[in-house]
Copies of this chain bind each other. A is one copy, B any other.
């Protein structure tokens, strides 16, 4: 499991393409992930066409990986295929609700992580784009996703053309709880975040962003309350449209 231990996000890729058979093999293996009731509540849209990548890019805030990676994969929560099958078999599906969407989202994300592990083991690099659920309505339109299909993760993948340093992680005692969740005291929070705050790159980050603390970079610049709330409202509208508007 060295590839998991040594994993880095790769944002720069060689021009080298990914063979169709290799990609299909990796996807097929990823579909071995656990899935609720063996329903396989996901679909994967493969983007190789430069024109399609250019269309998708704005939905991902024009992060350059979307157009520079040989392959972009959009993993979708999908209750459409299963529901269509039900209807063809005199069975009335009842999966147009938030719970069922979250079941399908879970299925899709387990496959996404599986795919990344497999790809990295084969020497490929991946970048997970969290932007997928920021602008799902745009992606839905571009990829022609029908009702009951919602994009939940996008992966850019290709042969690495960089070898970045591995980012820090919080100490595991800050993440693992024994038997019950023990809520954090102020001292524990100090302790858990001390190493992250001490890193030269993070101190530099604070300096060039002219904030007082590292946390303010997150709350005031990167992931702001007002933006989150506006995007959250948009997400709710999109969920309503894809799930409930009968």
Stretch from A58-66, A112-120, A157-165 contacting the other chain: A112-120
**How far, in angstroms, from A174 to B229 measured CA to CA in the complex?**
36
Chain A 208-236, CB within 8 Å of chain B: the 1/0 string? Answer: 00001111101110111110110110011
Q: Does A100 contact B (CB under 8 A)?
A: yes
Q: Does A34 contact B (CB under 8 A)?
A: yes
Find out whether the CB atom of A112 lies under 8 angstroms from the CB atom of B114.
Answer: no
Find out whether the CB atom of B90 lies under 8 angstroms from the CB atom of A24.
Answer: no
Q: Does A69 contact B (CB under 8 A)?
A: no
- With CB as the reference atom, state the residue of chain B lying closest to A9: B34
Find out whether the CB atom of A43 lies under 8 angstroms from the CB atom of B181.
Answer: yes
- With CB as the reference atom, state the residue of chain B lying closest to A97: B232
Q: What's the nearest-Cβ distance from chain B to residue A162, in Å?
A: 16
Chain A residues with a Cβ closer than 8 Å to the other chain, count? 114
One of B38, B46, B182, B218 near A39 (C-beta < 8 A): B218
Chain A 30-62, CB within 8 Å of chain B: the 1/0 string? Answer: 111110111110111111110010000000000
Q: What's the nearest-Cβ distance from chain B to residue A153, in Å?
A: 7
Find out whether the CB atom of B215 lies under 8 angstroms from the CB atom of A170.
Answer: no
One of B45, B100, B169 near A180 (C-beta < 8 A): B45
Given A81-B192, A99-B134, A172-B24, A144-B94 contact (CB < 8 Å): no
**How far, in angstroms, from A85 to B189 measured CA to CA in the complex?**
6
Extra contacts besides A109-B113, A110-B128 (12): CB < 8 Å: A1-B121, A4-B29, A4-B32, A5-B29, A9-B34, A46-B178, A46-B179, A84-B189, A103-B133, A109-B110, A113-B114, A146-B181
